[in-house]
Amino acid sequence: MSEPQEFLTCACDHCGQSLEFPAEMSDHQSACPTCGYQVLLKPGDRQRAQPPTPELTRPATPSLPGIEKSGVADALSVIAVLELIAAPIAGLIVGQDNTFFGWMIVLSGLMSGLILLGFARVIEHLFESAQRLRRIEILLQKASDEKVLHPSRL
């Protein structure tokens, strides 16, 4: 690992702002970040300054509600599976006396079971999408609140 870089300090001749420079920038001119005045770092200003440390704090992650499963979609799925199982059984029973009606019951039961499964998936996805949109809304509200409370952090 490399040796830590040495920093020197001086004050801006124009505004008095304390400035830190890497030691190898001695005798060079640099613009003051506050007023823009050209400052010469003099070798006699050998006060040791700590190297600037990066800010290690992370912004707080807002707590977001979890994504739940839809009870309605689960109930529709159970009904659809029951219908898919019961339709062929009912069709066999009715089909003993009348084959046409037996097949009609089997086919209509299978189709309605598949349609119910499709509706269950649609409801499940809509429910999850609504929850995700709510989470986005919470994040946007918190960002907006931060912007109002701390406009300098932008």
Considering the entire predicted model, what is its pTM?
A: 0.51
- Residue 22 in domain: yes
Higher confidence at residue 71 or residue 17? Answer: 71
- Residue 65 in domain: no
Query: Which pLDDT value is given to residue 107?
Result: 93
Residues 35 and 79 grouped into a single domain: no
Higher confidence at residue 149 or residue 34? Answer: 34
Model confidence at 120: pLDDT above 90: yes
34 within 8 A of 12, measured Cβ to Cβ:
yes
State the total domains in the chain. Answer: 2
Domain residues for 15? 7-49
- Residue 62 in domain: no
- Residue 57 in domain: no
Query: Which pLDDT value is given to residue 131?
Result: 92
Question: Residue 149 to residues 14, 22, 118, 128, 145: CA-CA distances in angstroms?
Answer: 33, 35, 47, 32, 6
Residues 81 and 149 grouped into a single domain: yes
Residues 122 and 83 grouped into a single domain: yes
